[in-house]
Amino acid sequence: MTETPSAAILNAIPKLSVYIITYNEADKIAAAVESVLWADEVLVLDSDSSDDTAKIATALGATVKQLAFTTFGKLRNDAIAACQHEWVFSLDADERCTPAAQAEILRVLQNPLADAYFVPRRNWFMGRWIKHCGWYPDYRQPQLFRKQVMTFDNRDEVHESYKVTGKSAYFEASIVQIPFQNLEQLLHKMQRYSSLGAHKLVRNGKPVSMGTALTHGLWAFIRIYILKLGFLDGWAGFVLALGNFEGTFYRYAKAATAKQNWSKPDIK
């Protein structure tokens, strides 16, 4: 059982800012904010949600600021800039900071041995923990870092690249991610991210065609379902692999069709 940090420990460590970027996350934001209310500052950087995301976060005690969305890279740079304290913890709206991760964060802040830390994530989907599919430990960019060492590429629409000017390390304790409440959310994310990814492909001048869309999509499915043992995660693994196929296929297909100048039909 993880012990709750004492008041003395909390008072002795450097102050921490937590930022959460959101867009229409009313069904997720409460649990995310509640998991980090122990931090010195909780910022919710919202991009003009049309639901109650901002209202819910404010009621829980978070500071809500509106940031216009252009790219995820710029959004993260703006979010970091908005944080007041030297140390920053990045949490997505579908993530939850566990008591074990909280305790490790506080231990690190007392005696930091690196400037940026990757944090493993345990994913819950379709009623089970996903142990394969490349979804554990499922590191993304460093989530705990000194404010001045972490920068993102402002141009990156999605799957944003980053640079760390310092030493990196890895946590032992995991946070939890609940990426999709239902399959509708999976499809919605696939649609949005494939469009953003298509813009990135076009901007970077990547060679695209319907053929490359199919081959990249098939490889994405094989990589997750076969090579990363997604089949061991049952139907959840199959759905994730299929969703990755669709997201990858449509990312390339959208980029390919954007370059076409098809003629209109001659209707007589």
**CATH code: domain of residue 52:** 3.90.550.10
Q: Is the pLDDT of residue 28 over 60?
A: yes
State whether 201 and 161 are in the same domain. Answer: no
Q: Is the pLDDT of residue 3 over 60?
A: no
pLDDT of residue 260: 82
Q: Which of 177, 198, 219 is the last residue of a domain?
A: 177
Residue 26 Cα distances to 7, 20, 252, angstroms: 32, 13, 31
**CB within 8 A of 194, min separation 6: which ones?**
246, 247, 248, 250, 251, 254
Q: Is the pLDDT of residue 65 over 90?
A: yes
pLDDT range class, residue 220, cuts 50, 70, 90:
very high
pLDDT of residue 9: 55
Evaluate whether residue 117 is within a structural domain.
yes
- Region 86-100 average pLDDT: 97
- Region 99-103 average pLDDT: 98
| pLDDT tens digits, one per residue of 12-23 | 789 999 999 999
Q: Report the number of distinct structural domains present in the chain.
A: 2
State whether 48 and 102 are in the same domain. Answer: yes
State whether 31 and 160 are in the same domain. Answer: yes
Residue 251: name the closest of 180, 161, 159 by CA: 159
Q: Which of 177, 205, 231 is the last residue of a domain?
A: 177
| pLDDT tens digits, one per residue of 140-174 | 899 999 999 999 999 988 888 999 999 999 999 99
Q: For the stretch 215-250, what's the b/e string if a residue is b when 16 or more beta carbons lie within 10 angstroms of its beta carbon? A: ebbeebbebbbeebebeebeebbbbbbbbbbbbbbb
**CB within 8 A of 254, min separation 6: which ones?**
194, 195, 198
Rg, C-alpha atoms of the chain: 20
State whether 188 and 172 are in the same domain. Answer: no
Q: Return d(Cα 129, Cα 120) in angstroms, integer.
A: 14
pLDDT of residue 4: 58
Q: Is the pLDDT of residue 219 over 80?
A: yes
State whether 158 and 30 are in the same domain. Answer: yes
